Amino acid sequence: VVTVLRSESPHLKEGQTMPLHEADALFAKLDAEYPAGMGYDKTKFRIDFTFRGKPDNYEGRQDFGDGDGSLIQHIRGYHEYYAQDESWKNHVLHHEGPEAWEADKAQRDMLLHEFIPYMELHCNLAAMEQEARRPLRSGETLTPEQTAYFNAVLDYVKECRPLLNQGQYHLPEPPQLADFDQSLQDYKKQIETIRRVLKNAER
C-alpha cells in the first residue's frame, strides 16, 4: 500500500492511500503530464509491505516533472544513480568510513535486485487479477471453460501473493486458457491415440 505523506500536486491529498499498482500508474501519469519548464511537484510517499515474511516500509520522494516515470521507475533510477555516483561514495567513505560504504552498497544492491523485482511481480499479479475480474463482472457471455479459466487466474493470484511476501520469487506457472478448452483437450487426446495406434502398427 502506498501512502502520500506530502505532495505539491493538486491531484494528490496528504494521507491518501492506494494499492502499489495504482500508485505506480498514477505517478507515471502525473510525471508525464506535468507542464514542461514549470518546475516540479515534490511528493513524499511511503510504501508499506510484507517483505521476506516481515512487515516493512520504504519512504522516498518523487518530483513530478523530472521525467522519472512511474513510482517503481523512480525508485530504480534513484538507487542506480547513487550506486554509481563517485562523489556520494567519497562522501560516505570520508564521513562514515568503509564499513558504512559497504552497508550502503549492500542496501542498494538488495533494493535494485530484490525489492524492485518484488514490487514489479506484485504489479504483474494485480494486472492479471484485473484482467480476470473484468470479464467475470462485465456480464458478457462466457463459456464454462472461460469462466473456469478466469476463476483459476484469481486463485493463482491469491496463492502467489503470500509466496512473494515470504521471499519466493520463482512463482508457479500461471494457468493457460488452452488448458481449460475442452475441445482442444479432446483434440490432443485424439492425436495422442492416433500416435499410439501408429506406433503399435510400426511394431
Q: Which residue has the cell 521507475?
A: 73
The answer to whether 28 and 10 are in contact (CB under 8 A) is no
State the number of CA atoms in the 13 A half-sphere of 48 facing the CB: 8
Neighbour-count burial of 10, counting CB atoms closer than 10 A to its CB (0-12 exposed, 13-18 middle, 19+ buried): exposed
For 181, the 3-state DSSP assignment is coil
pLDDT in tens, the chain (203 residues): 999 999 999 999 999 999 999 999 999 999 999 887 788 999 999 999 999 999 999 999 999 999 999 999 999 999 999 999 999 999 999 999 999 999 999 999 999 999 999 999 999 999 999 999 999 998 888 888 889 999 999 999 999 999 999 999 999 999 988 888 766 666 667 777 777 777 776 65
Helix (H, G, I), strand (E, B) or coil at 173: coil
